């Protein structure tokens, strides 16, 4: 039996990971790129939808046409509960996200996570983006965009489906670097 704690006084210094997000120029390159197949076009649209809405992959795949609502000012939004955390979220759709939703009659294509991530690498190559494209970079890009639009940390936390602003503060470092 151990008589004293061998870890007494031992500190683990965790280096905080840098937030990866896309610049405006990178988002524009993806948006304007001609995709060689319809499948890649759908995946590009889904990724851009994430960049515009902050929805996670699984929450985006779970969207149904009935999840889209219109408020008294005519703004379209989606609301729900994050599948991962069960925290409620609400996201107002800006024009680019609305265009994508309308393109698919508010029924986004359903694509497996593996196929999605594999094809995002192909899209990155087509668009000459050196950052690894993945679902989280879309969410990070959206968080930075919303903070740059002047939304408060509390509002962005609600949109992202975070239970506290502690998680959202992680994105504050990228403020003023992007303006989708």
Task: For residue 173, name the pLDDT band (cuts at 50, 70, 90).
Answer: low
The pLDDT of 129-140, averaged and rounded, is: 90
- Say yes or no to pLDDT of 2 above 80: no
Task: For residue 55, name the pLDDT band (cuts at 50, 70, 90).
Answer: very high
Of the candidate ranges 62-71, 81-90, 129-138, the one whose mean pLDDT is the lowest: 81-90
Spatial CA neighbour of 143 closest among 62, 25, 32, 56: 56
- Say yes or no to pLDDT of 9 above 80: no
Task: For residue 12, name the pLDDT band (cuts at 50, 70, 90).
Answer: low
Q: What is the pTM of this model?
A: 0.82
Task: For residue 86, name the pLDDT band (cuts at 50, 70, 90).
Answer: confident
| Radius of gyration for the chain, computed over Cα atoms and rounded to the nearest angstrom | 18
Task: For residue 151, name the pLDDT band (cuts at 50, 70, 90).
Answer: confident
- How deeply is 120 buried, as exposed, middle or buried, from its count of CB atoms within 10 A (0-12, 13-18, 19+)? buried
Q: Are 93 and 101 in contact (CB under 8 A)?
A: yes
Supply the DSSP string of 48-94, one letter for each residue. Answer: HHHHHH---HHHHHT--GGGEEE-TTS-EEEEEE-TTT--EEEEEPP
The pLDDT of 113-140, averaged and rounded, is: 93
Higher pLDDT, residue 86 or 108: 108
Instruction: Return the beta strands (E) in the chain as ranges.
Output: 68-70, 76-81, 88-92
- The angle subtended at Cα 48 by Cα 96 and Cα 165, nearest 5°, is 95
Across the chain, mean pLDDT equals: 87
Measured distance CA(107)–CA(104) in Å, rounded: 5
The pLDDT of 126-138, averaged and rounded, is: 92
Neighbours of 149 (CB within 10 A): 13
């Amino acid at each position: 039996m151990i008589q004293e704690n061998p870890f007494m006084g031992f500190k683990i210094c965790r280096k905080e990971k840098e937030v990866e997000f896309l610049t405006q120029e990178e988002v524009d390159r993806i948006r304007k790129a001609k995709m060689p197949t319809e499948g890649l076009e759908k995946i590009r649209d889904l990724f851009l939808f994430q960049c515009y809405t902050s929805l996670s992959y699984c929450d985006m795949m779970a969207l149904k046409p009935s999840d889209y609502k219109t408020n008294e000012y005519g703004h379209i939004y989606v609301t729900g509960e994050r599948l991962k955390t069960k925290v409620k979220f609400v996201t107002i759709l800006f024009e680019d996200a609305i265009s994508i939703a309308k393109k698919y009659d508010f029924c986004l294509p359903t694509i497996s996570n593996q196929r999605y991530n594999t094809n995002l690498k192909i899209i990155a190559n087509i668009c000459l983006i050196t950052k690894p494209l993945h679902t989280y970079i879309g969410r990070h890009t959206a968080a930075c965009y919303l903070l740059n639009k002047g939304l408060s940390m509390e509002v962005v936390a609600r949109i992202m489906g975070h239970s506290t602003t502690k998680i959202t503060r992680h994105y504050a470092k990228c403020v003023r670097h992007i303006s989708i």
